[in-house]
Amino acid sequence: MAEKEGNRWVVLIGALMLQLCLGAVYAWSVFAAELKKSVIDGGFGWTVTETQIVFSVALATFAVVMVWAGKWQDRMGPRNVALMGAGLLGISYILSSFMPGEFIWLVLTLGIGAGAGIGLAYVCPIAAIGKWFPDKLGLATGLAVAGFGGGALFIAVLTGKGINMPGLQMDLIQLLANYGLGTTLLIWGIVFLVLGGLGAFLLSNPPTGWKPEGWTPPEPSAKMPTTENWERGDMIKTPQFWMLLAMFVFAASAGLMTIGILKVYGIDSGLDAAAAGTAVGILAIFNGAGRIVWGWSSDKLGRTMAMALMFFLQACMMLAVIFLKLGTTTTGLAIAAAWIGFMFGGNFALFPAATRDFFGIKNYGGNYAMVFLGYGVAGIVGPLLAGQMKDFLGSYDWAFIICGVMCVLAAVLAFITKAPHHSRI
């Protein structure tokens, strides 16, 4: 479905506004810390595994729903599907505020409901931007998804206890401290309805055959491997699809494991709640920055080379967190959060761009939704791995080590993966 040409920069602004709201899922560890607090301290006494189940359900639902959302937005256009997603996200947060400490209720609302809303909306700006910016695909995709990480920053900082770093202390709104969990969830639900709905309304597709003025599509090369368009059924028969899927599982598990426990990990390592919460905001900042920088870098280096480098650097930090005891100091945890966030954020610029390069633009939304299933698997593996290691072994060490090994495997796969061609199936 092609709509009026409009202004592609307006579409990019809409994409950023929507993604700011969808990034709520990455602020989860702030809410998890509140749920994990003992009842005596004003919390709800949840176990780490319980907090991570809600997070995992949200991530898995996000990925599964996106499979259908990708096809729907290919047929209906990005605006309609994104509006449904923003609405469902906001309503789910509002409903969660009615019984904020009930495990099953939060699984249904913040897990299934909010996860489905994010899944409906997330692919829409990515697919639209891929069509409006074929001349700057990696950079534009990175900018479009940077809001996802940026949203987590604002939500984490405003929800928690401000910023507490050496040389920088700042008390902001502190929603949890001033209003409690229920009202905080209600406030964010209303914000998501308004801001997310407006961003979704600004999305559109370019007219059929449109291209930027003065731009000529490049010939296939090492950096732009194919101009072929693949149907979903043919794509999933290629080994390259399964290699991309495996890379996403391995690499995203590391980031999602860290995101789900970061504030709790900092507190358990001896830091105060404000310092640990600040690390969540730092991770979110670099998550957004990584999407832009890695997207731009991949336009220069080539997708798979950039992916191999990014995965290897992520593996180094996952192991360094444990062996250098980075979680025991405010500065160390801040460095680890920045590094992990920067590498993790790159996944969301590189995997959609690689899907576009490997399998074409025509069915981009639906095809990327299938690749994104790897993220859904990672959303189960990473957070639950952390919860199980902590609850049964008393430490997160093995969760970081296992995730580091998975990142090494992802780097190897990226190094050997090449674009497919129909004639080679």
Band of residue 425 on the pLDDT scale cut at 50, 70, 90: very low
pLDDT in tens, 233-280: 889 999 999 999 999 999 999 999 998 888 888 888 888 877 887 888
Give me the DSSP letters along 82-141. Answer: HHHHHHHHHHHHHHHTTSTT-HHHHIIIIIIIHHHHHHHHHHHHHHHHHHH-GGGHHHHH
Structural domain span for residue 411 = 8-207+228-424
Average pLDDT over residues 387-409: 92
352 lies in a domain? yes
- Average pLDDT of the segment spanning 22-32: 85
What whole-number percentage of the chain has pLDDT above 90?
Answer: 41
Buried b / exposed e across 353-380, counting CB within 10 Å, b at 16+? bbbbbbbbbebbbbbbbbbbbbbbbbbb
Say yes or no to pLDDT of 2 above 60. no
In a domain, 360, yes or no: yes
Q: What is the pLDDT of residue 145?
A: 73
Residue 124 · residue 80 · CB < 8 Å = no
Query: Cα 342 to the chain's mean position, in Å?
Result: 12
Range among 137-141, 171-175, 216-220, 290-294 with highest mean pLDDT value: 290-294
Residue 216: inside a domain: no
Residue 217 lies in a domain: no
Cα–Cα distances in angstroms (integers) from residue 155 to residues 57, 274, 378, in the given order: 20, 14, 23
Between helix 303-323 and helix 273-301 the angle, nearest 10°, is 150
Question: What span, in angstroms and rounded, lies between the C-alpha atoms of 100 and 255?
Answer: 26
- What average pLDDT does the chain have? 85
- To the nearest 5 percent, what fractions of the chain are helix, strand and coil? 75, 0, 20
What is the β-pairing status of strands 163-165 and 168-170?
A: antiparallel
The answer to whether residue 93 is domain-embedded is: yes
Name the DSSP letter for residue 206. P
Chain-centre distance for alpha carbon 198: 21
218 pLDDT tier (thresholds 50, 70, 90): low
pTM score:
0.75
Structure confidence at residue 410 (pLDDT): 96
Q: Judge whether 279 and 337 are in contact, CB under 8 Å.
A: yes
> For residue 40, what is the domain's CATH number?
1.20.1250.20
Per the domain annotation, does 416 fall within a domain?
Answer: yes
* H or E stretch covering 169: strand 168-170
Whose CA is closest to 33, among 189, 260, 188, 186? 260
Q: How many structural domains compose the chain? A: 1
Domain membership of residue 222 (yes or no) is no
- Cα distance between residue 329 and residue 340, in whole Å: 16
Taking the chain, what is the end-to-end CA distance rounded to the nearest angstrom? 30
3-state secondary structure of 207: coil
Checking if the pLDDT of 168 tops 50, the result is no
Are 175 and 184 contacting, i.e. CB atoms less than 8 angstroms apart? yes
Q: Which two tokens stand for residue 379?
A: 């959303």
Non-local (6+) Cβ contacts of 214 within 8 A are none
Structure-block tokens of residue 298: 């991949």
> What is the average per-residue pLDDT within 382-406?
91
% of the chain residues with pLDDT over 70: 91
Binned at pLDDT 50, 70 and 90, residue 81 comes out as very high
Q: Which residue has 């090994």 as its token pair?
A: 405
Q: How many angstroms separate the CA atoms of 238 and 255, rounded?
A: 27
Q: How long a stretch of residues is the chain?
A: 425
- How many CB atoms sit inside 10 A of residue 164's CB? 20
Instruction: For 264, list phi and psi in degrees, rounded to 5.
Output: -60, -40
Q: How far is CA 157 from CA 54, 79, 280, 287, 386, in A?
A: 21, 30, 8, 15, 23
- Has residue 407 got a pLDDT over 80? yes
